[in-house]
Amino acid sequence: MTKPAYKRVLLKLSGEALMGDDAYGINRSTIERMVADVAEVAKLGVELAIVIGGGNIFRGVAPGAQGMDRATADYMGMLATVMNSLALADAMRQAGLTSRVMSAIAIEQVVEPYVRPKALQYLEEGKIVIFAAGTGNPFFTTDTAAALRGSEIGAEIVLKATKVDGVYSADPNKDRNATRYATISFDEAIAKHLQVMDATAFALCRDQKLPIKVFSIVKPGALKNVIMGDDEGTLVHV
């Protein structure tokens, strides 16, 4: 078997990716399919860490959060990521995978706190580490958490899993002539005003020379294709 292209990766999942066709919440069949994709990668011996968003949970309370203080809303969002992380870890357990959830905010009765040496130990032991609660600070997105944790654990690449199969020259839903980039540099993406990640996360990845691969988590097997170095999605590099 051909060896994986990467030894250690950080997978960034959006909360919305867990919804499937539902309006909000977690679609069980969707999360089980994603876990099956993760299991394929884990069997290759790849050390895998995951950061997951909370948008799917927060959507259900969003109408009541209108006019709310931004910091308060962000803390609610962090709690939503903890809920998603627990659901993902449980689905992994049922699939026979060993994972650990580590939170950036203290909820020790539920999940253990994030401690970098412990996270590295888990990865080296072959466990999947799920980083919850973003960075633990308001005003920072889970994209930034992915860039930060990816840098901290020495990930070779950040895999940004979305519902779109890469970075396009224009919105492919609005422009039929939009073309997907196979590769693009950080500087080119900035010059072309392409939205890959939020500005803080993007700048951190560029400064740390940490490449980003944008691909579709909706496509079965796409995660494995990325790990094997196949032409899947868009690679953003220095």
Q: Other C-beta atoms within 10 Å of 32: how many?
A: 12
The pLDDT value recorded for residue 63 is 59
**Where does the pLDDT of residue 104 fall: very low under 50, low under 70, confident under 90, or very high at 90 and above?**
very high
Residue 137 among known ligand-binding residues? yes
The better pLDDT of the pair 42, 163 is held by 42
The better pLDDT of the pair 213, 171 is held by 213
Look-up of token digits 């994209």: 143
Residues with Cβ within 8 Å of residue 28, at least 6 apart in sequence: none
148 has a pLDDT exceeding 90? yes
pLDDT above 70 as % of the chain: 96
Residue 98 among known ligand-binding residues? no
213 has a pLDDT exceeding 60? yes
The pLDDT value recorded for residue 18 is 84
**Cα separations in angstroms, 19 against 114, 162, 188, 232:** 26, 12, 32, 23
Query: For residues 215 and 192, what is the distance between their CA atoms, to the nearest angstrom?
Result: 19
The pLDDT value recorded for residue 70 is 87
Residue 97 among known ligand-binding residues? no
230 has a pLDDT exceeding 80? yes
Mean pLDDT, the chain, integer: 92
Residue 140 among known ligand-binding residues? yes
95 has a pLDDT exceeding 90? yes
Residue 43 among known ligand-binding residues? no
Within 13 Å, how many C-alpha atoms sit on residue 172's CB side?
9
pTM above 0.85, yes or no: yes
125 has a pLDDT exceeding 90? yes
The pLDDT value recorded for residue 57 is 81
The pLDDT value recorded for residue 1 is 52
User: What CATH class has 8-237?
Assistant: alpha beta
pLDDT per position as a tens digit, 188-206 = 999 999 989 999 999 999 9
Instruction: Name the residue ranges covered by the structural domains of the chain.
Output: 8-237
pLDDT per position as a tens digit, 58-79 = 666 655 567 788 898 899 999 9
Residue 168 among known ligand-binding residues? yes
The pLDDT value recorded for residue 62 is 59
Residue 55 among known ligand-binding residues? yes
Within 13 Å, how many C-alpha atoms sit on residue 133's CB side?
17
